[in-house]
């Protein structure tokens, strides 16, 4: 009968571990600082610099709803960092190794 509490603990641990990647992607490193959800455009420019590319995201009516800022790092461990702004604040971040 002690098997049920052990299985419950194992299932809870598995769920907690599977949710970690979404937490890890909630922020990206810019030099010594972390850009995270809620940071302003000024904060991101100060610590990450000007973006290499800006893509304006629009709704089906053509109104701008967000902006994606792309930063490209080349060479060893090349990666693309994307910071999405809604209004003046960071809505989401992600890094993709190239």
CATH number for the segment(s) 3-97: 3.30.1450.10
Residue with tokens 């490209």: 72
pLDDT tens sequence across 30-74: 888 899 999 999 999 999 999 999 999 999 999 999 999 999 999
Where does the pLDDT of residue 86 fall: very low under 50, low under 70, confident under 90, or very high at 90 and above? Answer: very high
Instruction: Write down the pLDDT at residue 10.
Output: 47
Going along the chain, which residue ranges are E strands? 27-30, 33-36, 53-58, 64-73, 79-86, 89-97
pLDDT tens sequence across 16-31: 444 444 444 578 888 8
Spatial contact of 48 and 93, defined as CB atoms under 8 Å apart: no
Residue with tokens 């995270």: 36
Domain ranges of the chain: 3-97
Helix (H) or strand (E) holding 16: helix 3-18
């Amino acid at each position: 009968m002690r098997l049920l509490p052990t299985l419950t603990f194992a299932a809870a641990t598995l769920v907690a571990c599977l949710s970690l990647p979404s937490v890890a992607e909630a922020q990206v490193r810019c030099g010594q600082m972390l850009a995270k959800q809620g940071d302003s455009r000024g904060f991101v420019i100060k610590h990450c610099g000007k973006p290499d590319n800006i893509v304006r995201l629009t709704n089906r009516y053509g109104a701008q709803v967000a902006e994606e800022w792309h930063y490209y790092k080349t060479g060893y461990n090349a990666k693309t960092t994307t910071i999405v702004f809604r209004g003046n604040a960071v809505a989401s971040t992600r890094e993709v190794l190239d």
